Amino acid sequence: AQRVTQPEKLLSVFKGAPVELKCNYSYSGSPELFWYVQYSRQRLQLLLRHISRESIKGFTADLNKGETSFHLKKPFAQEEDSAMYYCALTGRGSTLGRLYFGRGTQLTVWP
């Protein structure tokens, strides 16, 4: 069965420090992975998807099929990065009715 695990419920770093939000998954087919973010008083929104291989707001995430991970990284955290981050998984070509979210990691960046 598919599963998304975000082992850290809370994560705190200081401004300028590197940050890594962990996401591990289990899926028997070809996965597609996403990171969604919810800033305070804002709507949940897509941050990035692995198929795009893009960097958004300085964040990157690489799909590691060997370790079944899709960790979100940023070399220098900013206070405005404080938010709730969700990792999400579906199967390639599948519908979003089979999009599964992790439990989320609340990131706090201290000044």
Partner 1 sequence: NAGVTQTPKFQVLKTGQSMTLQCAQDMNHEYMSWYRQDPGMGLRLIHYSVGAGITDQGEVPNGYNVSRSTTEDFPLRLLSAAPSQTSVYFCASSPGGGRSAGGGELFFGEGSRLTVL
Which residues in this chain contact partner 1 in the complex, by CB under 8 A?
Answer: 6, 9, 32, 34, 36, 43-46, 49, 86, 90-97, 99-104
Smallest distance from partner 1 to CB 76, Å: 26
Smallest distance from partner 1 to CB 51, Å: 8
Q: What pairs with residue 69 in β-bridges?
A: 24, 64
Measured CA to CA, the distance from residue 63 to residue 75 in angstroms comes to 18
Which CB, 33 or 109, lies closer to partner 1?
33
What is each CA distance from 91 to 25, 38, 39, in whole angstroms?
A: 12, 23, 27
Which CB, 83 or 104, lies closer to partner 1?
104
| Contact predicate 90/31, CB 8 Å | yes
| Contact predicate 3/99, CB 8 Å | no
Smallest distance from partner 1 to CB 40, Å: 13
Which helix (H) or strand (E) segment holds residue 22: the answer is: none
Smallest distance from partner 1 to CB 88, Å: 8
Which CB, 17 or 44, lies closer to partner 1?
44
